Amino acid sequence: MTLLVRHGLMPVTEHDRKALEALDPYTLRAYGLDHALEPFEFGRALFHLNQRRGFKSNRILDGDEDDKEKGKIASGVERLTDALAASGCRTLGEFYARRQTGPVREREAVRVRMQGVGAKALYDFYPARALVEAEFDALWATQARHHPTLLTDAAQSAIREALLFQRPLKRPQVGRCTFEPEPRLATAHLLAQTIRIYQELNHLRIETGLQTENPLNVEQRDVLATHLMSGEDLTFAVMRKILKLDSTARINLEDRKRDKLKGNETAQRFGGKKGALKRLWASLDDSRREAIVARALQETDASAFAAWLQEETDATPKEAAAAAKVRLPPGYARLGPTATAKILAELQNQVIHYAEACKRAGYHHSDERDGVILDPLPYYGEVLARHVMPGTSDPEDPVEKRHGRLANPTVHIGLNQLRKLVNAMRNAWGEPDEIVIELARDLKRSQEEKERADKENAVNQKKNEERVRRIKEAGFADTPLNRTLMRLWEELSECPLGRRCAYTGEEISIRRLLSDEVEIEHILPFSRTLDDSMANKTVAMRGANREKRNQSPHEAFGGNSARFEAILTRAQELPSNKRWRFRPDAMEKFENEERDFLARQLNETRHLSRLAKVYLSKVCDPDHVWVTTGQLTALLRRHWGLNSILRGHNRPEADEKDAKRGRKVRDDHRHHAIDAVVIGAVDRGLLQEISRRAGQHEKDDLDRIVTDMPIPFDNFRDAVRAVVEKIVVSHKPDHGAGGALHEDTAYGVVEGADTEIGNLVRRKPIDALSAKEIDQVRDVRLREALQAVRETVEGDPKALAPALALYGAQHSIRRVRVLKPEKGYVTVKDLRTGAPYKALIPGDNHHIDIVEDANGVWRGFAVTVFQANQKQAPPAWKAALPGAKRVMRVHKGDLIELADPDGQRRIKRVVRLEISANRLRLAEHMEAGQLQDRHEKKKDEFRLDPFEWDFATISKLKNRGAKLVHVDEIGRVLR
């Protein structure tokens, strides 16, 4: 708009702006191809062209085979191109103009909308950026003849660039090579493909008997490598034929969940039997092939890549166009080009394992020790440089930006907390002699367990093969997305006919499952949990997913008790690790219970443990930093009678019973301290002895491993109890101002009589209206009509959406305006007029300011995340209570020391900020687990849990002597 005004193509007064509304832009765009337009008319046409600039292809991202939407866009672009040719229209604007001629009711649509339902839904047409570009050039060429002094080359260049410009996509940052100071190779790089193939071949073993297992010799290996390097996949049966092995001979990798070795995927897609460049690929030298792959990994424009390929090779236009559509394997390897070349040379020279090849190339595949001890322990990015994304190396930047960081937030936070803890311990007690880390992994499995695991793997592989067969029979592509859909679909119910969407109750057939009607849905919203595990996924109808948005099932549907009861009934069919996520307190369980989050992040925990070992090798002798296992800790904890220590910090009657059962209490954070005591009591000799015994005993008899292990010293259990009872648990409060500033939905501000129903308004699909929202439809006549529709399906909530959809189709209504009453919204204002044009509802509370008024009464004022980010705004309590003073600012996770009714002062954690009830919800610092369930006194198999929330009314905190306290990393209470 600014460019058009600057070049005299658009008016600047409000009167002229309104006059432009009477000009049909489609007519101007068609008329301007042959006739002169007034400058402001041409400006109107260009501005309209800019508003709908069309789809610009990205050959790298558009290759996502699982993205059905992009495939539909591509087919829509093709249909539009064919329609333009058939109609004889020269430009997109002319085509649109013809569709808009005639009586209003007979005009054809020009809005890009998907037509049809499910898998058959398609775009009638979809404009491409190239069509917009061609129309701009055609319009400018015509109008420049009529306005030569106005439409200069400089103006054309400036406006064209602004109109067609698209920011390049930010390339993902590439990690460092494990061994060399250079970026990692792309997985598609020919070197990366080659080293993968030789690693796998060198790892192969031929089993010709129960006790005979031999590696391939160099000749056998090279024969297989020739096939694989050409891009050919080799099944194990074919490999036996090539190597002329007996049919009874087995290849070790056959026992895993694979039936073949993958060939060079890059060579396969370019030069294989169906490769785009199969005629040329074999004749190209290595440097030319590498250049093609490098260009394919960087070039986002398909036409540019095809043109380059024709210039650099003898590829025909057809071959070049096909090569531009090739999608290479995504991701990056662990090594850069230098290390890869060195290690590959050793792998090719002899049939040796990767670790040995690294050693011969001058590297160690896992040992990162350099003998340097650091005090204090620095930011982990300085020590774990090979594991983090590279930083800026600019000394002026913050440490995380300068040295880089790990992408995984769990590991990032864990290592930062570990640094603070270790440095605090060194300051308090000096240098450590030894460090022991508990790694979340199993002890060595017995042979029976290994066999059982192999059987389970074989069963799972058969299930996956059956899914693939059914997908293909239904006429759909075998893609990872479709296989995931099938797996989640099978979890809905054991009976295929009983598989229904948990939220709507609609039956999901296999064809419906694989259509656009059904989506994978995060039960607890990913945006708030970062939980992308299968345990947090199910399949649901697209409409239900849209309605649910980023809410838990209860948050989205709990307002309709009948519907939510039906949802809970259907959810009972799901596995247990999914069922709890439908409960009303699911989000509370996730947000407030650290152990549940860590359990879901088991893989990250393992990764964290390995990185912690390397990190802590900078604190003491690396040979004195070692790792034990969680299962070992559990065995010794039970054997030494430590499980019952926490059984009754307030329920001693349970001690003896629970001690006999050997159950570890997990609703007290101090159980981690007991684990630490056990870990600290294990020396290397004991660890080796237990590890040796573990390989000899079966899982069901693991207690035999530690039956005769002596206790560390006399009265060991009593000494541990005495120490544990003094512990105050340290919590990391969330004081940051990050998070969602407001809800996703934007509202309009309502004035006038409508405010009796609601003061905000939004548009919503007619078939997504709830029964209650029908009474909030803004249009009075439409509201009455929809209320009548609701009456026809009274008592049948499932029938409401279809009935509303039918009414909408009959009356050409897609969306309706719905009112909403809301007090605490914020407005977005027009910068020119200052008038509000959009309203937003703030997100969660960030903190509560507790202030003392002139009468000495404590009162609470909540500050939302949105308000916390308005740093220039004064606190609301200063205006509401002149002369008041702030007593404390309370965030979730803060610790407060206060008196209980029994007169004892205790330290408690702030779990919830409940300003609407004028209170804080507190739990003693050590309390863990599912606090709401525990409060409701849910009985388990053994005891009645006495935990109760402390509903701390803000006005009464003064009488309880409440004070904020801080507990540092080593448990010291700072008041």
**Helices marked H in 204-273:** 218-229, 236-242, 265-271
Phi and psi at 116, nearest 5°, equal 100, 180
Higher pLDDT, 448 or 78: 78
**pLDDT band (50, 70, 90) for residue 330:** confident
Q: What is the pLDDT of residue 130?
A: 85
Q: Is the pLDDT of residue 710 over 70?
A: yes
**pLDDT band (50, 70, 90) for residue 265:** very high
Q: What is the pLDDT of residue 301?
A: 82
Helix (H, G, I), strand (E, B) or coil at 648: coil
Residue 356 parent element (H or E): helix 354-360
Residue 49 parent element (H or E): helix 39-51
Q: Is the pLDDT of residue 860 over 90?
A: yes
By DSSP bridging, strand 625-629 and strand 435-439 are parallel
**pLDDT band (50, 70, 90) for residue 655:** very low
Q: What is the pLDDT of residue 449?
A: 47
Q: Which of 40-44, 299-303, 694-698 has the lowest mean pLDDT?
A: 694-698
Cβ atoms of 691 and 444 closer than 8 Å: yes
> Which are the contacts of 836, defined by CB distance < 8 A and separation ≥ 6?
749, 827, 828, 829, 830
Cβ atoms of 835 and 886 closer than 8 Å: no
**pLDDT band (50, 70, 90) for residue 736:** confident
Percent of the chain with pLDDT over 90: 27
Give the tens place of pLDDT for each residue, 870-919: 877 778 888 889 889 999 999 999 999 999 999 999 999 999 999 889 99
Q: Is the pLDDT of residue 576 over 90?
A: no
Query: Tokens for 489?
Result: 């679909």
**C-alpha angle 283-284-286 in degrees, rounded to nearest 5:** 130
Q: Is the pLDDT of residue 133 over 70?
A: yes
Question: Rounded to whole angstroms, how far apart are CA atoms 27 and 102?
Answer: 13
Q: How far is CA 752 from the centre of its chain?
A: 43
Q: Is the pLDDT of residue 661 over 50?
A: no
> Which are the contacts of 168, defined by CB distance < 8 A and separation ≥ 6?
300
Cβ atoms of 76 and 125 closer than 8 Å: yes
Helix (H, G, I), strand (E, B) or coil at 777: strand
Q: What is the pLDDT of residue 192?
A: 95
pTM: 0.64
Q: Is the pLDDT of residue 658 over 60?
A: no
**Going along 30-189, which residue ranges are E strands?**
114-115, 122-123
**pLDDT band (50, 70, 90) for residue 952:** very high
Q: What is the pLDDT of residue 888?
A: 94
Question: Rounded to whole angstroms, how far apart are CA atoms 88 and 96?
Answer: 12
End-to-end CA distance of the chain: 59
3-class SS string, 401-465: HHHCCCCCHHHHHHHHHHHHHHHHHHHHHCCCCCEEEEECCCCCCCHHHHHHHHHHHHHHHHHHH
Q: Is the pLDDT of residue 307 over 80?
A: yes
Q: What is the pLDDT of residue 441?
A: 43
Q: How long a stretch of residues is the chain?
A: 975
Q: How far is CA 642 from CA 24, 361, 634, in A?
A: 81, 49, 10
Cβ atoms of 302 and 296 closer than 8 Å: no
Query: Tokens for 759?
Result: 């003061």
Q: What is the pLDDT of residue 390?
A: 83
**pLDDT band (50, 70, 90) for residue 695:** very low
Question: Rounded to whole angstroms, how far apart are CA atoms 634 and 640?
Answer: 10
Q: How far is CA 650 from the centre of its chain?
A: 40
Mean per-residue pLDDT of the chain: 82
Higher pLDDT, 368 or 147: 147
Q: What is the pLDDT of residue 202?
A: 93
Q: Is the pLDDT of residue 185 over 90?
A: yes
**pLDDT band (50, 70, 90) for residue 601:** very low
Question: Rounded to whole angstroms, how far apart are CA atoms 555 and 261?
Answer: 47
Angle between the N-to-C axes of helices 800-810 and 780-792, in degrees from 0 to 180, rounded to the nearest 10: 130
Please name the amino acid found at residue 558.
Answer: G
Cβ atoms of 224 and 252 closer than 8 Å: no
Give the tens place of pLDDT for each residue, 69-123: 556 777 888 888 888 888 888 998 888 888 877 665 566 777 777 766 556 677 7
Q: What is the pLDDT of residue 698?
A: 38
By DSSP bridging, strand 815-820 and strand 826-829 are unpaired
Please name the amino acid found at residue 134.
Answer: A
Question: Rounded to whole angstroms, how far apart are CA atoms 838 and 829?
Answer: 7
Q: Which of 155-169, 247-261, 456-470, 644-658 has the lowest mean pLDDT?
A: 644-658
Higher pLDDT, 447 or 153: 153
Angle between the N-to-C axes of helices 68-87 and 92-99, in degrees from 0 to 180, rounded to the nearest 10: 80
Please name the amino acid found at residue 806.
Answer: L
Query: Tokens for 808?
Result: 């909408």
Neighbours of 756 (CB within 10 A): 10
**pLDDT band (50, 70, 90) for residue 684:** low
Cβ atoms of 125 and 78 closer than 8 Å: no
Question: Rounded to whole angstroms, how far apart are CA atoms 589 and 580?
Answer: 9
Which of these, 881, 877, 923, lies nearest to 900 by C-alpha position?
923
Please name the amino acid found at residue 931.
Answer: L
Give the tens place of pLDDT for each residue, 752-767: 766 778 889 999 988 8
Q: What is the pLDDT of residue 834?
A: 81
Please spell the DSSP secondary structure of 35-47, one letter per residue. Answer: S---HHHHHHHHH
Q: Is the pLDDT of residue 423 over 90?
A: yes
Query: Tokens for 135?
Result: 């129309």
Q: What is the mean pLDDT of residues 272-292?
A: 90
Q: What is the pLDDT of residue 657?
A: 45
The single-letter DSSP state of residue 182 is S
Q: Which of 50-59, 185-194, 290-299, 505-514 has the lowest mean pLDDT?
A: 50-59
Question: Rounded to whole angstroms, how far apart are CA atoms 172 and 532?
Answer: 20
List the strands of the sheet with 950-953, edge to edge: 950-953, 919-924, 905-914, 895-899, 963-967, 973-974
Q: What is the mean pLDDT of residues 695-719?
A: 68
Q: Is the pLDDT of residue 864 over 60?
A: yes
**pLDDT band (50, 70, 90) for residue 60:** low
List the strands of the sheet with 748-749, edge to edge: 748-749, 760-765, 815-820
Any idea which residue has 């996949």 for tokens?
233
**pLDDT band (50, 70, 90) for residue 559:** confident
Q: What is the pLDDT of residue 692?
A: 59
Maximum pairwise Cα distance, the chain: 103
